[in-house]
Amino acid sequence: MAAKKLLILPGDGIGVEVMAQVRRIIDWMSKKRKIEFDVSEGLLGGAAYDVHGTPFPAETLAAAMAADAVLLGAVGGPKWDDLPFDKKPERGLLGIRKEMGLFANLRPATVLDALADASTLKPDVVAGLDIMILRELTGGLYFGEPRGIETLADGSRRGFNTLVYTTAEIVRIGRVAFELARKRNKKLCSVDKANVLECTVLWREEMIKLQKDEFPDVELTHMYVDNAAMQLVRNPKQFDVMVTENMFGDILSDCAAMLTGSLGMLPSASLGAADADGKRKALYEPVHGSAPDIAGKDMANPLATIMSFAMCLRYSFDMAAEADMIETAVKNVLKGGLRTADIMQVGKAKVSTTVMGEAVVRELDKMV
Ligand code: IPM
Ligand code: MG
């Protein structure tokens, strides 16, 4: 079998530190499971701007398109706050999602037993939680045109963005959602704001049609996004798969992340359309950001990024056994009482990013 081409983009801030821990897991997989990876590194975000004067260099795009999968840390930081909008690190992230056509963003939120009381919510509300938020990632309010800030005749200014989806865009994310639901509990909740926004009236109509035409075995419900935010905090276990617009998904997934105790625990996968061989372009990244306040201090939680690599093995390389091994190793480390600062609990041992990464490797070692 050909070596699996992995492009690693550590990005900025804690992205660099957490990715260093993922490198350990990749090395372990090569050595102990004889999986051949062809790993290269590239620049994205502020790190790319510092070298190339752009947050999304052409060579990063070329490398990403040639890779079997991309692993991303995080981008952004105060250092780049004063740059013009199109040079900001975030443009690099949005650019790579758009250029690779990664329209389907899977953000699972699972509460691991050991962390049920790390959440700010009552343990019985979140214990055993296992939901999947599917966020549309290349359309909607984030990418709609026209957009901008203009100066009016009277000298005042007007800022505007556009919420827009075509039926084709709705149907392709809808299909991914229904297929995910089919593999889980056959329950899909589509989140919109159809009481106010026409674009999401269309969204709802297309979801209903798709369910009738192709997925009659999946139960489809609808919820307004404000209610969904409230229900996620009130009773999150009522959900299984949720599918929603780009910005709604951005907001709801941060909310869902906190149900699990910390943003530092949530992995994500961003997938493109399947080609003739069924292969999808794919990028894996933690849901958390670059956390400039703790960058360089060896205290960030590497588990979301490590579990993003597990998702990579599962979705891009069909290696469910190895993905399971990583997830089990993470669970065991937590069961053993190790915690990074973000998930620290009374009576547990606070450890650094590096020690956490090493501990996951040690747990993996026990499995072979
Ligand atoms: C996310 C992040 C990004 C987004 C930012 C960094 C541009 O919040 O992946 O959720 O808004 O999509
Ligand atoms: Mg976000």
DSSP calls for 61-97: HHHHHHSSEEEEEE---GGGTTS-GGGSHHHHHHHHH
Pairing of strands 187-192, 219-224: parallel
Give 263 or 356, the one with higher predicted confidence.
356
Ligand 1 atom closest to the Cα of residue 105 is 9
Nearest CA owner, ligand 1 atom 8:
250
Among 90, 138, 245, 305, name the best residue to mutate to test ligand 1's pocket (greatest count of ligand atoms within 8 A of Cβ). 90
- Please identify which residue in the block is written with the tokens 């009374």: 346
pLDDT in tens, 77-129: 999 999 999 999 999 999 999 999 999 999 999 999 889 888 889 999 999 99
Ligand 1 atom closest to the Cα of residue 76 is 6
Residue 250 Cα to ligand 1 midpoint, Å, equals: 7
Judged against a pLDDT cut of 80, whether residue 1 lies above it is answered with: no
Ligand 1 atom closest to the Cα of residue 289 is 6
The mean predicted confidence, pLDDT, of the chain is 96
Please give the full DSSP string across 234-291, using - where no structure is assigned.
Answer: H-GGG-SEEEE-HHHHHHHHHHHHHHTT-GGG-EEEEEEEE-TTS-EEEEEEESS---
- Strand-pair partners of 187: 219
- Strand-pair partners of 282: 271
Q: What is the largest CA-CA distance in the chain?
A: 72
Ligand closest to CA 77: 1
Residue 225 Cα to ligand 2 midpoint, Å, equals: 16
Residue 261 Cα to ligand 2 midpoint, Å, equals: 16
Ligand 1 atom closest to the Cα of residue 254 is 10
Nearest CA owner, ligand 1 atom 4:
250
pLDDT at res. 2: 85
pLDDT at res. 97: 97
Q: What is the CA radius of gyration of the chain?
A: 20
Residue 213 Cα to ligand 1 midpoint, Å, equals: 33
The fraction of the chain above a pLDDT of 90, given in percent, is 94
User: How sure is the predictor about 136, in pLDDT bands with cuts at 50, 70 and 90?
Assistant: very high
Ligand closest to CA 254: 2
pLDDT in tens, 318-341: 999 999 999 999 999 999 999 999
Retrieve residue 308's tokens: 């993003």
Give me the residues near ligand 2 (ion), CB cutoff below 5 Å: 250
User: How sure is the predictor about 220, in pLDDT bands with cuts at 50, 70 and 90?
Assistant: very high
Residue 367 Cα to ligand 2 midpoint, Å, equals: 35
Residues belonging to the active site: 142, 193, 226, 250, 254
Judged against a pLDDT cut of 90, whether residue 261 lies above it is answered with: no
pLDDT at res. 17: 97
Backbone angles phi, psi at 248, to 5 degrees: -60, -40
How confident is the model over 44-54, as a mean pLDDT?
98
Among 72, 81, 93, name the best residue to mutate to test ligand 1's pocket (greatest count of ligand atoms within 8 A of Cβ). 93
Judged against a pLDDT cut of 90, whether residue 196 lies above it is answered with: yes
pLDDT at res. 262: 82
Who's near 311: CB < 8 A, 6+ residues apart?
A: 106, 267, 268, 269, 284, 323
* Sheet architecture: strand order including 69-74: 37-41, 4-11, 69-74, 280-286, 267-274, 104-110, 130-136, 241-244, 187-192, 219-224
Judged against a pLDDT cut of 90, whether residue 280 lies above it is answered with: yes
Ligand closest to CA 105: 1
Which helix (H) or strand (E) segment holds residue 313: the answer is: helix 303-315
Among the listed ranges 63-72, 111-120, 275-284, 304-313, which one has the minimum average pLDDT value?
A: 111-120
User: How sure is the predictor about 189, in pLDDT bands with cuts at 50, 70 and 90?
Assistant: very high
Ligand 1 atom closest to the Cα of residue 90 is 7
pLDDT at res. 258: 87
pLDDT at res. 278: 87
Residue 14 Cα to ligand 2 midpoint, Å, equals: 16
Nearest CA owner, ligand 1 atom 7:
90
Measuring from each residue's beta carbon to the nearest atom of ligand 1, which residues come in under 6 Å?
76, 90, 93-94, 250, 289
Residue 331 Cα to ligand 1 midpoint, Å, equals: 27
Nearest CA owner, ligand 1 atom 5:
90
pLDDT at res. 263: 85
Pairing of strands 157-160, 130-136: unpaired
pLDDT in tens, 149-180: 999 999 999 999 999 999 999 999 999 999 99
